[in-house]
Amino acid sequence: MPAVLPLRHFLLALAVVAVWGTNFVVIKLALEQLPPLLFAALRFTLVLFPAMFFLARPAVPLGNLALYGLLIGVGQFGVLYVAMDGHISPGLASLVIQVQVFFTIALSMHLAGERVRLFQWFALLLAAAGIAIIILHTDGSTTPLGLLLVLLAALAWAGGNIAAKQGAPGNILAYVVWSSAFAVPPLIALSLFFEGRPAISAALQAADACTWAAVAYQSWGNSLFGYAAWGWLLARHPAATIAPMALLVPVFGMGASALILAEPLPPWKLTAASLVMAGLALNLLWPRLRATQSGSG
């Protein structure tokens, strides 16, 4: 049975999911001055430097480290930033990308040859119904292209999860930092190719303190603090106690977007969010509920 978190540890977990959720608003604000691929390159540059000088390279194959860096740096965040550059609202982006849970399950099942369990199919149907509602209500703030890009980012995130599982790094923070070395060069190359030197130069010259603070928030808050604190909590408590807190990420994401950016929350959006969240909760909590019932019986 999952243990009860001490108050300080609960507040730390809450701080992590708050940073991860409000991160989507920070992304949107930074994209007002930075092209998306340049923004991603800057983010992972600050993840890499200077942390790499204080953390030993994890004892995993370079190929695995490179795969994780490419999937997370380019596939997840590079594509997510492009999507959020006028194609999807921050609140919906924070919700839709959580379907990485189901992509991760699908990839794990495919690689391990396992079968999807009944409750997982039901959870997937709930989440898919929520995504379908979003598709039916795409408008100027959320387009079909934006939705597709965020789904691709979620798929890349799932691939990164599988790569991390196969690499089994002893220190996930060092793994995130050193994998960034393989994310930065392709992001710079893609930025030069698609966004061009003039746009890059103009953006860097125009970037103000708030923009650089957003980049730092992404790098040091979202990546370094988030992974370090989450790993610290997982080392001290069962995953069944910590993992459910992640369900609050889209709650913070949609709430922050509504409060700070005045993103509207019409009934259809709340219904879609409820369905996706219900699917995520069912997938995460049902096995633990069954285990608790079996243990008490």
Give tens-digit pLDDT for 66-97: 999 999 999 999 999 999 999 999 999 999 99
Q: State the pTM of this model.
A: 0.90
Quickly state the pLDDT bin for 296 (edges 50, 70, 90).
low
Q: Within a domain: residue 37?
A: yes
Average pLDDT over residues 111-136: 85
Chain segment 230-288, per-residue pLDDT in tens: 888 888 887 767 877 888 899 999 999 999 999 999 999 999 999 999 998 888 888 77
Q: 42 with 203: CB under 8 angstroms?
A: no
Q: Within a domain: residue 221?
A: yes
Quickly state the pLDDT bin for 142 (edges 50, 70, 90).
confident
Chain segment 179-204, per-residue pLDDT in tens: 999 999 999 999 999 999 999 999 99
Q: Within a domain: residue 2?
A: no
Give pLDDT, residue 105. 84
Q: Within a domain: residue 1?
A: no
Written as one letter, the residue type at 133 is I
Cα 182 from Cα 78, distance rounded (Å): 13
Give pLDDT, residue 291. 65
> To which residue do tokens 């019409």 refer?
266
Q: In angstroms, what is the C-alpha Rg of the chain?
A: 19
Distances (CA, A) of 111 to 72, 114, 169: 19, 8, 19
Q: Which of 49, 66, 54 is nearest to 167 (CA)?
A: 66
Written as one letter, the residue type at 160 is G
Q: Within a domain: residue 12?
A: yes
pLDDT score of 290 more than 90: no
Domain of residue 187 covers 7-296
Q: Within a domain: residue 169?
A: yes
Q: What is the largest CA-CA distance in the chain?
A: 68
- Give the number of domains in the chain: 1
Q: Within a domain: residue 148?
A: yes
